[in-house]
Amino acid sequence: MNDMTRPDATDPPYLYPGYRSTTLRAPKQPLVQLPAGTLDVPFATVGKAFVKDGDNDLTVHGKAGAPLGERMILTGRLLDDTGRPIRKSLVEIWQANASGRYHHGGDQHDAPLDPNFAGLGRTMTDDDGRYRFMTVKPGSYPWPNHPNAWRPQHIHFSLLGNAPVQRLVTQMYFPGDPLLALDPIYQSIPEGARERLICRLDLDAGVENYALGYQFDIVLAGAKSTPLGI
């Protein structure tokens, strides 16, 4: 049985009253501990055909040209907690445009949509666990959690890993963002672990006179399972 308020030193608790939506959605009963390995069952990998050329470049899908905003290249590795690369694994991202507006009907923030930016990307990691995206830096936006609540700039990540035990959905933040100190979603992560979600400026990953580089590694739980071939 887990302590629901502080389940471990890495993940946020389910109930974090500063983030209001947790109040009615966080389970109140303790999580049940299954026998070790129960969720460490192999998962059929995603095939190459699932990702098309260009799916990792969020700047080339506009009919009328390039999206507005500060162009950036984001690279990193997907690893397990023993440091092994997670190879040929799907990485999915989504984000707001440079003005802080999502291409989603539910987003009513009064900031312009960009007809040249849908804000989604996917790629497969290579044999070294590496991934790479070209995109624009997302803007901050207000949300109705509390008065004057603004989310820090962030990119959402979804990782499947090789087994259900490795599933992870998270958000990547940017260094030096003054909104991090005020954001309950970021602050819900235990102290000492939060910083793992902040990417690093990496000029070498960029392209001179074209795009700034950032670097962000993602570490999933360890799994004994290796992917099932498909």
Partner 1 sequence: MPQRSPSQTVGPYYAIALPWNDGGRVTGCSGERIVLEGHVRDGTGQPVPDALVETWQAPDRDASPSKDGRPHGFGRVSADATGLFRIETAMPRGPVPYLDVTILARGLLRHLHTRVYFADEARVRGEAAMAPLASSPRLATLIARREGAGHYHWDVRLQGEGETVFFAT
Please report the beta strands in 49-199, taking only residues with DSSP state E, as ranges in sequence order.
71-80, 90-94, 120-124, 130-136, 141-142, 150-151, 154-159, 168-173
Q: Which of 156, 167, 194, 196 is catalytic?
A: 156
Least Å from the CB of residue 148 to partner 1:
19
Compute the half-sphere exposure of residue 111: CA atoms within 13 Å on the CB side of its CA. Answer: 19
Q: Is 87 one of the binding residues for partner 1 (CB under 8 A)? A: no
- Residues 70 and 81: their CA atoms lie apart, in Å, by 33
**DSSP H or E stretch at residue 135:** strand 130-136
Q: Is 47 one of the binding residues for partner 1 (CB under 8 A)? A: yes
Which residues between 89 and 108 bind partner 1 (CB under 8 A)? 92-94, 102-104, 106-107
Least Å from the CB of residue 18 to partner 1:
11
Active site residue 102: yes
44 vs 12, 80, 137, CA distance in Å? 29, 18, 33
Q: How far apart are the first and last CA of the chain?
A: 36
Which residues between 120 and 149 bind partner 1 (CB under 8 A)? 120-122
Q: Tokens in use for 218?
A: 């993602």
Residue 161 or 206: the one with the smaller Cβ distance to partner 1 is 161
Least Å from the CB of residue 155 to partner 1:
11
Q: Is 29 one of the binding residues for partner 1 (CB under 8 A)? A: yes
Query: Interface mask (CB under 8 A) for partner 1, residues 148-167, using x and -?
Result: --------x-x-x---xx-x
Q: Which of 131, 154, 186, 214 is catalytic?
A: 154
Q: Is 218 one of the binding residues for partner 1 (CB under 8 A)? A: yes
Residue with tokens 């009253």: 17
Q: Which of 16, 19, 102, 131 is catalytic?
A: 102
One-letter identity of residue 197? L
Distant-in-sequence, close-in-space partners of 3: CB < 8 Å, separation ≥ 6: none
**Residues with active-site annotation:** 102, 141, 151, 154, 156
